[in-house]
């Protein structure tokens, strides 16, 4: 828990200076990351993202084409390149992974303007919970509820989008279980043609099946980063050539280095090790695993 000097005094008050970042990671559906200061170079990631300002202070997102959005609530499509400037403010970043049932809500943004500014007032009912997550005194159960309620509000504000095809959800489940399935094998499981599987998968998820299988390899990072493995072990077991390549790629995804993201002096991590349940683990590391050179 935070010490008393780090307690947030309310939306209208000054932010404390020593609030750690927090990462609430639940299975393969998504994660919530909270920060007080986050200024990043260009990042590109597979998840769609909902950005909310807990204290109503504006943040800035600049897209690759130069458009800049200064706002307090923003939906960002998957694989949209952007820079973030969020200084001395309580930023909540809700990341929706491709295997989440909410992913279809944000996926269409990539085909249009990439981002959509949202009505921050519509999220007011979540304010108390957002502050709890930002302070680090929340838990995975709270984070998962905020995730679902916030995404339900995003769905209400965005143009209506049909639910994903039931066979696409089954494809995702099959690949999550057996990531090396070929298109032909997946088609046989579903009783469809290979052409239908390829076309429908790409249309619904905005990525080819091969891209999704590559994403599954990248997703393994979530299984390994918050363990006692060295960064070199995480890199190699995730399919990267070496630790520097992994660190560069992770920085490009999330705007933070993996050594920063797993350092308990900077980030408090709550992670669900049992994907089918809601087991809470507040992750703590021994000092030798936080060495950026490892």
CB 270 within 8 A of CB 24: yes
Give the pLDDT confidence score for residue 167 in this predicted structure: 87
Give the pLDDT confidence score for residue 266 in this predicted structure: 87
Same domain for 148 and 26: yes
> 102: Cβ–Cβ under 8 A, 6 or more apart, which residues?
29, 30, 96, 147, 148, 151, 155
Same domain for 130 and 199: no
Q: Provide the Cα torsion 222, 226, 232, 233; round to 10°.
A: -80
Same domain for 180 and 152: no
Same domain for 179 and 143: no
Phi and psi torsions of 266, nearest 5°: -110, -40
Same domain for 100 and 30: yes
**Total domains present in the chain:** 2
Same domain for 179 and 83: no
Same domain for 196 and 83: no
Q: What is the pTM of this model?
A: 0.79
Which domain range does residue 136 map to?
A: 19-157
Same domain for 81 and 191: no
Give the pLDDT confidence score for residue 283 in this predicted structure: 40
Beta bridge partners of 35: 91
Query: Does some domain include residue 183?
Result: yes
Beta bridge partners of 275: none
Q: For the chain, which residues score pLDDT lower than 70?
A: 1-18, 273-294
Joined tokens for residue 2: 């935070």
> 62: Cβ–Cβ under 8 A, 6 or more apart, which residues?
68, 69, 82, 83, 85
Same domain for 111 and 30: yes
């Amino acid at each position: 828990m935070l010490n008393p000097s780090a307690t947030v005094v309310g939306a209208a008050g000054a932010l404390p200076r020593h609030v750690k970042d927090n990462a609430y990671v639940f299975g393969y559906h998504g994660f919530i990351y909270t920060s007080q200061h986050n200024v990043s170079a260009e990042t590109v990631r597979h998840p769609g993202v909902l950005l909310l300002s807990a204290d109503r202070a504006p943040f800035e997102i600049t897209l690759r084409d130069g458009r800049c959005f200064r706002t307090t609530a923003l939906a960002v499509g998957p694989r949209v390149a952007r820079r973030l400037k969020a200084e001395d403010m309580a930023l909540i970043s809700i990341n929706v992974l491709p295997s989440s049932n909410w992913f279809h809500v944000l996926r269409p943004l990539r085909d249009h303007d990439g981002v959509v500014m949202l009505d921050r007032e519509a999220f007011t009912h979540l304010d108390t919970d957002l502050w709890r997550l930002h302070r680090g005194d929340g838990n995975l159960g709270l984070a998962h509820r905020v995730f679902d309620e916030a995404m339900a509000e995003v769905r209400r504000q965005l143009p209506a989008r049909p639910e994903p095809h039931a066979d696409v959800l089954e494809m995702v489940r099959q690949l999550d279980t057996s990531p090396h399935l070929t298109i032909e094998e997946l088609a046989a499981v579903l009783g469809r043609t290979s052409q239908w599987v390829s076309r429908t998968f790409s249309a619904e998820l905005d990525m080819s099946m091969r891209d999704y299988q590559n994403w599954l390899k990248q997703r393994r990072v979530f299984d390994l980063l918050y363990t006692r493995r060295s960064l070199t072990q995480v890199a190699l077991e995730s399919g990267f050539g070496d630790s520097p390549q992994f660190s560069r790629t992770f920085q490009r995804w999330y705007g933070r280095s993996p050594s920063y993201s797993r350092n308990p002096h900077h980030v408090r991590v709550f992670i669900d090790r049992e994907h089918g349940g809601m087991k809470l683990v507040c992750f703590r590391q021994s000092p030798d695993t936080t060495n950026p050179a490892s």
